[in-house]
Structure 1
Amino acid sequence: MLLNYLRLLLLPFSLIYGLAIILRKKLYDWGIMRSIKFELPVICVGNLAVGGSGKTPTTEYLVRLLAHYKIAILSRGYGRKTKGFILANVSSTAETIGDEPLQYFNKFENVTVAVCEDRMMGIEKLKENHDLIILDDAFQHRAVKAGFNILLFEFRKLGTLQFLLPAGNLRDVFSSRKRADVLLVTKSPVPLLHVAQQASINELQPNNNQPVLHSYLKYGDLRAINSDKTLSLESIKSFEIFLLTGIANPEPLIEELQKYTENIHHEAFADHHRFSSEEIKKFVSAFDKSNNTKKVIITTEKDSKRLRAIGFEDLPLSLPIYFLPIEVELFEEDKIIFDELILNYVKSNRRNS
């Protein structure tokens, strides 16, 4: 009730924000503000809302799909303490480049990962030595005219009333979806019923040349953050789980874990939260107080990067602490369409084509 009241108070500010967004959008559409197009494939993965739609695993899907090309991922590096253009290297931490870029760097050894607030400057520094660039979360960065825009929408949010910032989580107006080349509905239920699939299409009202495709999350085995040990989700049935998250939307993760146990203690923080030593100590203390012999600490892959950067020394090596990796997968027919669109775009827009 209090939250709804606060939303009402903030609605006038959302109206002002929305008018500013529409004006900026028109200035770019009319050519008064310029968008620069580059002579190599540039794929943008973005969304209209603030966080939680699955940009990171979607970016990783693209990297795997395009593995035979020399790829650079360019991100803003949200949550980092640094400024300007930085190339990820073995000394990088979540504080220097951000948690998501660090995850990309650790996972894909043949991919260049860079961060820069100014995407245009970042592309200029990367374009000569790469076949293509993936822009992580740059749909609103209109100064760059990406060659292919993938716009993400979370399945469970479609059909719900959403407000622009600051009353809600939308940072862009819904009409901006018309600029995208693909509308990708993420975190869809499995199986996906035809009526639900059609409901997404009806909600998004795509252009004639805009495919609406659906993806879902695949969960891997739990991986220890301080060793090479792994655990299957089946092996933690009926365990007591102490869940630590600092992501925009932990609900799908909780739903997945509830398939194996109802005994979940969730300590939730805001997206990109910098864990403090006191928070870590409090969390570990709650874990230690449990007399259950079958218990485990679980976090997300993204959060594990920040745990290493801040407060990791307060996590005893003997603690059973794991992260749960996720991947994006598309439903069979949608996967064929999506992969073909991406591969054809890159192939036909290479500099030597």
Structure 2
Amino acid sequence: MWRYLNYLLYPFSLLYGLVLWIRNRLYDNGMLTAVEFDLPVIAVGNLSVGGTGKTPHVEYLIRLLKAAYRVATLSRGYNRRTRGFLLAKADSTSADIGDEPMQFHQKFPDITVCVGEERMLAVPQLLGDRPETQVILLDDAFQHRSIKPGLNLMVTDYSRLFTRDHVVPFGRLREGRNGYYRADGIIVSKCPPELSTQEQEAIYREIAPYPHQRLFFTCLQYGQPYGMLQPDMAPPPPGASILVVCGIARPEPLVHHLLQHYANVHLLSFPDHYYYTQQDLDKIKMELDHMDGGAKHIITTEKDAVRLHLLKDSIAAMQLPIAVMPVEVRFLFDGADSFNSYIFDYVADAMLAAENE
């Protein structure tokens, strides 16, 4: 029944898609102008509303570039409790700058992390405060047409390719599928590590990249869980019962990974970018107590950990054994060297062009 009711949303998707199509055409035809900056600007985003694995790809770029260049990330700071342009500082929290920027700030304290709803205004503020910046990574900026990045990277989930999806509210796309033409590089994320060359070729044909586009494939690579409040805490033993606590768009890959290592895995899911309360901690404690097994552990994501950290005193007082599961991306089909060269070549060319202007 719900499936048929969902089709009632289709006209609204068509209307919303039409509005966005008109907006994009206005930018494409120059009737709405986009600002360019004279330094390398790399945008990382997607067509869908979330869950494509964008954040670990931004982190991959940070690791790749920060040894050679002075890198800054600029995010909107979704669901933060502040407004306007803010630079991450030593005492910043996820409530100040948002969970993803806070994650960048904690993991990479040697780069500049900032947030601002109006990216076109935020970039000059960033450069004014950090004039030494050489490369800017725009996080989740594929639909922000007011800035024209030098390199536009679009991430699409293997399990829900944009070619098979529809515009919200009928589907999960923020704009029509044809929006992918703006991408310079397309990354198919969250692929099975054993993805075959036959399926790779089938996806290539389905996406049908334009001549100017490069197509890459990545999978998630999980690390060793570490204690949220005690980094040296031993990881859960093989026979442990695991309560997965997370507020992310798609927790399924994490649960699937944990089921390969633990027999008893239970998911307690919250909305994406959710800010936890004391009542939530009480619920987590109750769920943990009712689980079967001797050794019981909580595992959460890095993104959730920066939000849970706002309740660190309560978590410590309740002695909740929370471990954090780190995740990175790995390029398939020996694509890492090609992708790295692609990025470094763009940055070098953009910096040279800026010097010659």
**TM-score calculated relative to the size of structure 2:** 0.94
What is the match of residue 41 of structure 2? 42
1:196-225 Cα deviation digits (max 9, x unpaired): 101211121101221211011111110111
Alpha-carbon distance in structure 1 between the residues aligned to 2:291 and 2:179: 49
What is the match of residue 12 of structure 2? 13
> Are 1:202 and 2:205 matched, yes or no?
yes
1:280-338 Cα deviation digits (max 9, x unpaired): 101112212446222110010100111112x4433235332101000011125321221
Determine helix, strand or coil for the equivalent of 1:153.
strand
Cα offset, 1:230, TM superposition: 4.7
What is the match of residue 30 of structure 1? 29
Unaligned runs of 5+ residues in structure 1 are none
Q: Report if aligned partners of 1:158, 1:203 keep a CA contact under 8 Å in 2.
A: no
1:166-206 Cα deviation digits (max 9, x unpaired): 22211021111111111111111112201110121112110
Determine helix, strand or coil for the equivalent of 1:316.
helix
Alpha-carbon distance in structure 2 between the residues aligned to 1:105 and 1:303: 14
Q: Which moved more, 1:287-296 or 1:69-78?
A: 287-296
Alpha-carbon distance in structure 1 between the residues aligned to 2:206 and 2:77: 32
1:94-151 Cα deviation digits (max 9, x unpaired): 1110000000000101110000011111111223330010000001000000000110
What is the match of residue 342 of structure 2? 341
Which amino acid is 1:213 matched to?
A: F
What is the match of residue 149 of structure 2? 146
Cα offset, 1:339, TM superposition: 0.7
Unaligned runs of 5+ residues in structure 2 are none
Cα offset, 1:160, TM superposition: 7.2
What is the match of residue 247 of structure 1? 248
Alpha-carbon distance in structure 2 between the residues aligned to 1:123 and 1:230: 40
Q: Report if aligned partners of 2:81, 2:96 keep a CA contact under 8 Å in 1.
A: yes
Determine helix, strand or coil for the equivalent of 1:299.
strand
Cα offset, 1:352, TM superposition: 3.8
Q: Report if aligned partners of 1:6, 1:167 keep a CA contact under 8 Å in 2.
A: no
Q: How many residues align?
A: 349
Q: Report if aligned partners of 1:244, 1:299 keep a CA contact under 8 Å in 2.
A: yes
Determine helix, strand or coil for the equivalent of 2:316.
coil
Q: How does 1:48-127 map to 2 (within 5 A)?
A: 48-67=47-66, 68-127=68-127
> Are 1:221 and 2:212 matched, yes or no?
no
Q: Which moved more, 1:135-144 or 1:88-97?
A: 88-97
> C-alpha root-mean-square deviation of aligned residues, in Å?
1.6
Determine helix, strand or coil for the equivalent of 2:154.
strand
Q: How does 1:115-194 map to 2 (within 5 A)?
A: 115-127=115-127, 128-158=131-161, 161-194=164-197
Alpha-carbon distance in structure 2 between the residues aligned to 1:228 and 1:159: 38
Which amino acid is 2:230 matched to?
A: S
Q: Report if aligned partners of 2:35, 2:147 keep a CA contact under 8 Å in 1.
A: yes
Q: How does 1:294-333 map to 2 (within 5 A)?
A: 294-309=295-310, 311-316=311-316, 318-333=319-334
Cα offset, 1:163, TM superposition: 2.0
